[in-house]
Structure 1
Amino acid sequence: MRILYIDVDSLRPDHLGCYGYHRDTSPNVDALASDGRRFTNYYASDAPCGPSRTALFLSRFGIHTGVVNHGGLNGDPRRYGRQRGFNYPEKFRSWMTVLAEHGIHTATVSPFPSRHDTWQVLEGFAEFHDPRDSHAHAADIYPYAEEWLEVNAADDDWFLHVNFWDPHTEYNTPLEYGNPFEDDPAPEWPDEETIRDHYESYGPHSAFNPESASFDWSGSWNLERMPEEIADREDFETWVDGYDTGIRFMDDHVGKICDLLREQGVFEETLIVVSADHGEALGEFNVYGDHQCADQATCRVPLIVSGPEVEPGVDEDLHYQIDLAPTVSELVGAEPPAGWDGRSFAPSLTDGERAGRESLVVSQGAWACQRAARWDDWLLVRTYHDGGKPAFDDVMLFDVATDPHQTTDLSAERPDVTARGLSILQRWHDDRLLEAARGENGGNPETPDGIVDPMWDTIREGGPLHARGHLGPYAEYLRSEGREEQAAEIEANYDLDVA
C-alpha cells in the first residue's frame, strides 16, 4: 500500500471548504474530501504540537507517555524501565516501527522534530528530510517531497509524511502571492463588541498583544500580514486573511503533490490522509493565532482520508487522533501492539460502519494546564493552571453545536450536565492511572513516575512551559502600557519566582 500523510500545523477544520467554510481556502483538499471520507469530530488527545505528535506516532495518551508539555520534566517521554532491552519493548513500538516491520518503507519531510527536539516522533522512520528552517513555508517543503516522490512513488509499500507549517503564526506566505481573500468577507465572529472586550482584557496572544508571547512581550511581528494588535474588525480581517492565505498557499502545494502522483500513475492507488497536529484559536478565550486551550478551537482537527477501498461520506462520531495508527495498521494487515491506547476505526473507513467512542478527554499542558470532556454536543473544560489567561474559570461548560466559539458558559445553568462532564473526566483519569498501575494498554508501571499524572508534575514545576518565567515580564510590560490593574492582578495571582 502507498500512503501519503499530509500533516498541517495549526489547521482548523472550519476554515476548509469541505467543512463548510465560505472562503475558497482549500480546493485541492476539498477535492480529496469529495472522493473520500471526512471526519467531523476528530480530536488531538494532547495539545499542542509536541504532545500531539508524540501521542499520534506512539498511539498513547500523554498521561501514559508523560509528554504533556513543551519543556521541563514532561517535555520528553518517560523511559521504559527494566523491560527496555536492546530495542524498545515490543508492546510500545511506534506506529512507524509497526509499518516498517510490515514491509512499509517510511519517510518524513518535516522541520518539526528538530524545531522542538521531539525526536521520539521519528521512531521507525527510515528517512528523515529536514529543511532546517523552523518557519519553512510550503514552497520550501515541497521540493523535498517532489524529489522523494519522483524517485519512489511508483514503488510498492511506502508511507510518506509531509509536514506543512503555513497556517501557523507567524503568517509568512510570500508577499508576491498576494491576498486571495481581499474581497471576501471575513468570518462574522468575533464581532466588533467582542473584539473591543478582548482588547480591554489581557493574556498571552490576546487582542491587545497577539505577538509572540513567550519571547518578546513588547516586540513586533514585522510582518505585513499580521497586525501588532487586534483593536477592531479591520485588524481582525487582516489577521484572518493572513491565516487563510497560509491555508490556501499550503493547499496549492497539496495540489502539486496530487498532480505528481497522477504523473507517476499512482494517484488512484494511494491512500491520502490530510490532518493537523492541532487547531488554532482565532479569538476563542481571547487567544488569537495560537493553540493554548483544551477546547474545540485547539483540539478539534480535520481528518480527510481518500484512496482505494475508502467508503466516501462523512463520519460524525467521536475519534481520537491516536486512533489513526491502529486504523492504518489494520488497513495494511499489521497487528497493533498491546501497549497502544488508540483504537481502530477501520470499519468506518472501509464499510461506513460506526466505530467511534462515546466520549473523549483532551488535554493541554504547554500554555495552560487543562483537561476537557467532549460528549454529545457538550464540552466541559477543567482548568488547573490558566497560564495567565483571565478568560478561564475553573470549570466551564459549552454547547458546541450552538456555540462553537465557546462564548457562553452554561456550567451554573446546567449543573446536571456539568456533573456528567466532571464524571467523565474523573472516570477517564482513574482508568488511565489504573492502566498505568496494571501495565495495560498504554500504561507502564516500570517507568519512573509511571503511575503519576504528568499534569500534576507540570503544575509542581511551576506550570506550563510557555507561562513559566514569562508572567513576571508580562506584568512589567502591561504596566509600561498603562495597565496597572492588570499587572497587579498577575502579580497577585502567581508566584512569579516560578511563573
Structure 2
Amino acid sequence: MTAESPENVLFVVMDTVRKDHLTPYGYDRPTTPGLDRFADEATVFEQAVAPAPWTLPVHASLFTGMYPSQHGADQENPYLEGATTLAETLSAAGYDTACYSSNAWITPYTHLTDGFAEQDNFFEVMPGEFLSGPLAKAWKTMNDNDALRTLADKLVSLGNTAHEYLAGGEGADSKTPAVVDQTIDFIDDSEEFFAFVNLMDAHLPYHPPEEYKERFAPGVDSTDVCQNSKEYNAGAYEIDDDEWADIRGLYDAEIAHIDDQLTRLFDHLKETDRWDDTMVVVCADHGELHGEHGLYGHEFCLYDPLINVPLMVKHPDLDAERRDDQVELIDLYHTVLDSLGVEGGDPANPGDDAVGLDRTRSLPSADYREFAQASNDDPGQRRDGEYAFVEYSRPVVELKQLEEKASSAGITLPEDSRFYSRMRAARRTDAKYVRIDRIPDEAYRIDADPEETENVAGDDTGDEAIAETEAALAEFEDAIGGAWTDALDTDVSDDSVDQMDDEAQDRLRDLGYLE
C-alpha cells in the first residue's frame, strides 16, 4: 500500500467476453467505446491468463488466491469450502462489501458469496432469494450427505437448461441494468467499499436488446440461430458460415450492452467524486469459442480465446499504458489486498485455509512476479514468474448435457476424446503446453502460431520454449499434488435421487425439481 493507494475497489467481471471482441484490444467493430475511454486511464494487459476456462473455479480463485486444485470448487464438487474468501477478509477489516451478479454459480449455494455483507443474484430461473437464507442452509444440509452431493450438478443444470429456453428479450436483458442500479445504490451508501459485479450478457443464450441487435446483428432473429453449444459440440447440429456470422453479431450486441451499462456505472462514480479514490478492475473470467477448433462455448479445451482474457486496471500506482508481460487473474486477489492495505491470511473459521498478501503477486508492487522473494507456499510461483497455469477438471454438467444431445441424435461419443478429459496447461507469452489425460498432449508456439493450429507436442524438433514450458508444467503438477495421469471413469450418470429419503424427495417435488 502506498500514499496514493485507493480507498475503494470496484471489481467487474464481464462473463464469457473474449478479448478480441473489445475495442481496446483492436476489434474492428465499435462494441466497447466506453471501455476504450476507460483504457485511456488504465493499464491494459495483453497477456492476462485465467486459471480455468469457466466461471466457478475462476471466481473461487479470484476470491481465495488459490488455484482450482487447491480450493477444490468444480462441477463434481460445486462448493467453495474450507477457504477464507477475500470478502470475508475485507469485511473483517471494516470495508463495506457487496456482490451483485446474474450468474447461477455465484450464490450462497456455492459459497462464492461468503463474506459479502450485501449480495444479490439476478439469475432468472434460480434467483438469489432461492439460494440464500434458510433455503441455502437446507441445501447445505442435504449436500453434506455424500449420496446427495451430485444432485447439485443436476439442479444447476436444470436451472441453466431452463435459462436457455426461457431467457430472452427483456427478461434476459433487464438483469444487467438491475445489477448496475443496485451497485450504484450500494456505493452511494458506503464509505470504504469493495464491490464485486458479474455481468452475464455475453453468455449463451444471446438475446440482446433490440437497440443493440439492430446495430450489430441487423435482421437476425436470435431464436433462429443455434443457442445450444452442446448440440453443436456433440455433432448433432451443423453451423454454416452465415449462421456463425449471425451468432457473432448477437454476441457483439450483448457486449455493447455491457459497455453501455458499465459506462453508466463509471459516470456515476465520476459525478459523485468517487472515481479518483476507487481502484477499478475490469476483466473476463473466460472467453468463448465460436467454431474455432470445431468447438462452441467454453468447454473441453484450453485454447487461448478461452484463457487469454481481457484485463484492465485503473490504479494510481499503475501507468495508463499497455503491457505485454504475462499476468494471472489469481494475482488480482493479492492486488486488492495490497491496494486496500489489508494483510489477510487470518482464517475466518477454524480450520479454514487463508492466503495472506504476497506482494510478488500484487500488480502495483515493485516486487511483482519476483517469485524468489515470495512469502507464500504457492505452486504457481515457478522459475522467473514468466509462467501462468490453468486447470480444467471434468465438466460433469456440460458432459451430461453433451451425452444427452449426442444420444438423441444417435451419436456415440468416443471415450478417448477431449470431452472426457482433464487438462492442465503452462503458458508463457511464446509457448503453451497442455497435459491431457485421455488424448495426446497439445503444445503450441503461440508467438508464431497464435491461432494454435499446429500441435507440436511430441515433435522431435528440440524446441527449447516448448521443452521449458512442459518442464514448468511438470514442476507445477508436482507442487499441486501430482499429474493427472489416470483417466476418470467415463460414466457421468448419477442415481442420487434414488438414494434420497422420502422427505428429501418430497422437498424437491415441492420446489418443482421432481415429478
TM-score relative to the length of structure 2: 0.68
Q: Against the structure 1 CA distance between its residues 154 and 314, is the aligned structure 2 distance closer, same or farther, given a 3 Å change threshold?
A: farther
Q: Against the structure 1 CA distance between its residues 212 and 287, is the aligned structure 2 distance closer, same or farther, given a 3 Å change threshold?
A: closer
In structure 1, the partner of 2:434 is 381
In structure 2, the partner of 1:47 is 53
In structure 1, what is the Cα distance between the partners aligned to 2:442 and 2:356? 27
In structure 1, what is the Cα distance between the partners aligned to 2:173 and 2:366? 34
Contact 2:97 2:194 survives alignment (8 Å):
yes
Q: Secondary structure at the match of 2:111?
A: helix
In structure 2, what is the Cα distance between the partners aligned to 1:75 and 1:214? 24
Q: In structure 2, give the amino acid aligned to 1:16.
A: L
Q: In structure 1, give the amino acid aligned to 2:272.
A: Q
Q: Secondary structure at the match of 1:460?
A: coil
Alignment of 1:68-467 (within 5 A): 69-70=74-75, 72=76, 74-77=77-80, 80=82, 92-113=83-104, 119-133=110-124, 137=172, 139-150=174-185, 152-153=187-188, 155-181=190-216, 211-213=228-230, 229-232=238-241, 234-337=242-345, 339-340=354-355, 343-344=358-359, 348-349=363-364, 357-365=385-393, 366=395, 368-385=421-438, 393-411=439-457, 412=459, 414-417=461-464, 418-433=466-481, 459-462=487-490
Q: Against the structure 1 CA distance between its residues 26 and 343, is the aligned structure 2 distance closer, same or farther, given a 3 Å change threshold?
A: farther
Q: Give, in angstroms, the shift of residue 330 of structure 1.
A: 0.6
Contact 1:111 1:130 survives alignment (8 Å):
yes
Pick the aligned partner of 1:57 from 39, 63, 73.
63
In structure 2, what is the Cα distance between the partners aligned to 1:110 and 1:20? 28
Gaps of at least 5 residues in structure 1 are 81-91, 184-207, 220-227, 386-392, 434-451, 471-499
Q: Against the structure 1 CA distance between its residues 152 and 49, is the aligned structure 2 distance closer, same or farther, given a 3 Å change threshold?
A: closer
Q: Give, in angstroms, the shift of residue 178 of structure 1.
A: 2.6
In structure 2, the partner of 1:20 is 26
Q: Against the structure 1 CA distance between its residues 23 and 316, is the aligned structure 2 distance closer, same or farther, given a 3 Å change threshold?
A: same
Q: In structure 2, give the amino acid aligned to 1:65.
A: H
Q: Give, in angstroms, the shift of residue 282 of structure 1.
A: 2.4
Q: Give, in angstroms, the shift of residue 429 of structure 1.
A: 0.8
Contact 1:12 1:279 survives alignment (8 Å):
yes
In structure 2, what is the Cα distance between the partners aligned to 1:244 and 1:345? 36
In structure 2, what is the Cα distance between the partners aligned to 1:345 and 1:28? 31
Q: Against the structure 1 CA distance between its residues 294 and 114, is the aligned structure 2 distance closer, same or farther, given a 3 Å change threshold?
A: closer
Gaps of at least 5 residues in structure 2 are 1-6, 126-162, 164-170, 219-224, 347-353, 371-383, 396-418, 495-515
In structure 1, what is the Cα distance between the partners aligned to 2:332 and 2:227? 33
Q: Give, in angstroms, the shift of residue 216 of structure 1.
A: 11
Contact 1:6 1:274 survives alignment (8 Å):
yes
Q: Secondary structure at the match of 2:448?
A: coil
Q: In structure 2, give the amino acid aligned to 1:311.
A: D
In structure 1, the partner of 2:398 is none
Q: Give, in angstroms, the shift of residue 7 of structure 1.
A: 1.0
Q: Against the structure 1 CA distance between its residues 375 and 151, is the aligned structure 2 distance closer, same or farther, given a 3 Å change threshold?
A: closer
Q: Against the structure 1 CA distance between its residues 107 and 117, is the aligned structure 2 distance closer, same or farther, given a 3 Å change threshold?
A: closer
Contact 2:443 2:456 survives alignment (8 Å):
yes
Contact 1:43 1:319 survives alignment (8 Å):
yes
TM-score relative to the length of structure 1: 0.70
Q: Secondary structure at the match of 1:268?
A: coil
In structure 1, the partner of 2:136 is none
Q: Give, in angstroms, the shift of residue 110 of structure 1.
A: 0.9
Question: Deviation per CA, 1:282-336, whole angstroms, max 9, x where unpaired?
Answer: 2332112334322312112111111444322123222221111111101111114
In structure 2, what is the Cα distance between the partners aligned to 1:130 and 1:140? 9
Contact 1:311 1:351 survives alignment (8 Å):
no
Question: Deviation per CA, 1:444-494, whole angstroms, max 9, x where unpaired?
Answer: xxxxxxxx77x679x53537xxxx359xxxxxxxxxxxxxxxxxxxxxxxx
Question: Deviation per CA, 1:86-106, whole angstroms, max 9, x where unpaired?
Answer: xxxxxx421111211222111
Aligned-residue sequence identity (percent) comes to 25
In structure 2, what is the Cα distance between the partners aligned to 1:128 and 1:283? 36
In structure 1, what is the Cα distance between the partners aligned to 2:469 and 2:317? 37
Q: Give, in angstroms, the shift of residue 52 of structure 1.
A: 1.2
Q: Give, in angstroms, the shift of residue 51 of structure 1.
A: 1.2
